[in-house]
Amino acid sequence: MAVIYLINPEGGCKVATSDLEAKYDEARGWRRFDPTAPEPRNAMARHPLDHDGDGRKGGSEAPEGDVKALRAEYQEKFGKRPFPGWDADTLREKLA
């Protein structure tokens, strides 16, 4: 019986017992890996709190180019800082 180790980029591991099963899983995003090699498993694992993809917990993705200007405009117009979760479209809507 064949034993094929598979890993999912979202954080799961499984063992397929046939090549047909492994091919089915590979079509759905699973990848083969060698459990004796330490690199593939660690390279794919991403911490759930790593929001900006730099390998460390915390942080956030940089806002879009005009979001900074829109936030400054919002603060100038209303005298308070905008909600940090608002995107550029929401800020434009609030400023209109």
DSSP assignment of 58-95 equals B--PPPPTTHHHHHHHHHHHHSSPPPTT--HHHHHHHH
One domain, residues 14 and 43 = yes
Q: Are residues 48 and 68 in the same domain?
A: no
Domain check: are 79 and 37 in the same one?
no
Is the pTM higher than 0.85? The answer reads no
Q: What Cα–Cα distance (Å) separates residue 30 from each residue in 6, 11, 45?
A: 6, 10, 13
Print burial letters for 26-65: b (CB count within 10 Å at least 16), e (below 16): eeeebeebeeeeeeeeeeeeeeeeeeeeeeeeeeeeeeee
Convert the pLDDT of each residue in 30-61 to its tens digit.
Answer: 999 888 876 645 555 666 777 776 667 777 76
Q: What is the pLDDT of residues 60-71, one digit of tens each?
A: 766 667 888 899
User: Do 42 and 16 fall within a single domain?
Assistant: yes
Q: How many domains does the chain have?
A: 2
The verdict on 50 and 40 lying in the same domain is yes
On whether both 24 and 54 belong to a single domain, the answer is yes
Q: Are residues 41 and 66 in the same domain?
A: no
Domain that holds residue 78: 62-96
